[in-house]
């Protein structure tokens, strides 16, 4: 993917929620919370657990960014 001025504008512009987007954002956040809670409950407190939870946070962020930026 070429990063041109238009792509930068998409990445660095506020995208107000439209239509059913807020509901879908929340569905993704809820799924992320469920998975993160499962990881914390099933694993020992350690760096790997922290990285797993961070990866879930990142997945939620990028999924919601896809909705906000690309619709």
Give the chain's end-to-end CA distance (angstroms, integer): 18
User: Which pLDDT score, from 0 to 100, does residue 1 have?
Assistant: 82
Domain residue limits, the chain: 34-71
Model's pTM, two decimal places?
0.90
> How confident is the model over 24-62, as pLDDT tens digits?
999 999 999 999 999 999 999 999 999 999 999 999 999
**What is the spatial distance between Cα 64 and Cα 9, in angstroms, rounded to a whole number?**
17
The CA-atom distances, in angstroms, between 48 and each of 8, 18, 30, 59, 62 are: 33, 37, 22, 16, 21
């Amino acid at each position: 993917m070429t990063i041109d001025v238009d792509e930068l504008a998409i990445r660095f512009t506020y995208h107000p929620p439209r239509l059913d987007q807020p509901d879908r954002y929340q569905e993704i956040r809820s799924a992320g919370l469920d998975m993160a809670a499962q990881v914390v409950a099933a694993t020992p407190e350690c760096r790997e657990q922290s990285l797993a939870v961070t990866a879930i946070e990142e997945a939620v962020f990028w999924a919601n960014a896809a909705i906000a930026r690309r619709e």
